[in-house]
Chain A
Amino acid sequence: ETGVTQSPTHLIKTRGQQVTLRCSSQSGHNTVSWYQQALGQGPQFIFQYYREEENGRGNFPPRFSGLQFPNYSSELNVNALELDDSALYLCASSFLRGGGTDTQYFGPGTRLTVL
């Protein structure tokens, strides 16, 4: 069973630009979630995809969007970058069974800096 991988590890963008972050889930997992972690804080849920459809969204504006592909990969897209978007972006994959017991497996994250 391979782990969750993310690319790139670090990224620097300027305000107003667009960015795409990528994640490769564990084989067999049907769900991917994305989180934003500002420095010194716990991760905040952005959204989740289940079988390629959005399955829940946190308190993030529409300029944060995502895609999930059949090959266990997924993307997080952020348009019109703002300085406050500087953070560690984490993806997590899991096999959704429901019932509050599913374990999420996190990647190492992408550190995004917006100048």
Chain B
Amino acid sequence: DAKTTQPNSMESNEEEPVHLPCNHSTISGTDYIHWYRQLPSQGPEYVIHGLTSNVNNRMASLAIAEDRKSSTLILHRATLRDAAVYYCILRDLRNAGNMLTFGGGTRLMVKP
């Protein structure tokens, strides 16, 4: 799977929007963009995924650049519970398996 680059850490204030960037300049046309997050002392949990179009769900929005070389996970109103490590992961739809290749992720800190 192609490599992603994320900032090591970011800070946000509670109840403000948060934009978490991810660069994936070597993305291929068959790579889906997935986001998972890992809350303290828990396993990772799925947040959202997309291929080309922007996506929304109850947790977050995913904005994908037109050239697909970058994407942004948007939390519309950060809460203290959103403090976690956020992982941007590319998954090739041609892969028979569905294993995830995690990078270092972005540690999001939310201030009250």
* Residue of A with least CB distance to B43: A106
State which size class the interface on B falls in.
20 to 34
Task: Specify which chain A residues have a CB less than 8 angstroms from the CB of B30 in the assembled complex.
Answer: 100
- Specify which of A4, A96, A107, A108 is in contact with B98 (CB 8 Å cutoff): A96
Task: Specify which chain B residues have a CB less than 8 angstroms from the CB of A107 in the assembled complex.
Answer: 43
A61 to B1, CA, bound (A): 21
Task: Specify which chain A residues have a CB less than 8 angstroms from the CB of B99 in the assembled complex.
Answer: 33, 45, 48, 56, 58
Task: Specify which chain B residues have a CB less than 8 angstroms from the CB of A44 in the assembled complex.
Answer: 102
**Distance to closest chain B CB from A4 (angstroms):** 8
Say yes or no: B97 contacts A50, CB within 8 Å: yes
Interface bits B91-110 vs A (CB < 8 Å: 1, else 0): 11111111111111100000
A44 to B43, CA, bound (A): 13
- 12 CB contacts below 8 A, A to B, read A35-B102, A43-B100, A48-B98, A55-B96, A55-B97, A99-B93, A100-B95, A101-B93, A104-B98, A106-B45, A107-B43, A108-B41
Which 8 residue pairs of A and B lie closest in terms of their CB atoms, listed nearest first?
A106-B43, A42-B102, A100-B93, A56-B97, A102-B98, A100-B91, A100-B32, A45-B99
Beyond A42-B87, A42-B105, list 15 extra A-B contacts (CB 8 Å). A4-B43, A31-B98, A33-B98, A41-B104, A42-B85, A42-B102, A45-B99, A56-B97, A98-B93, A98-B96, A100-B91, A100-B92, A104-B44, A106-B44, A108-B41
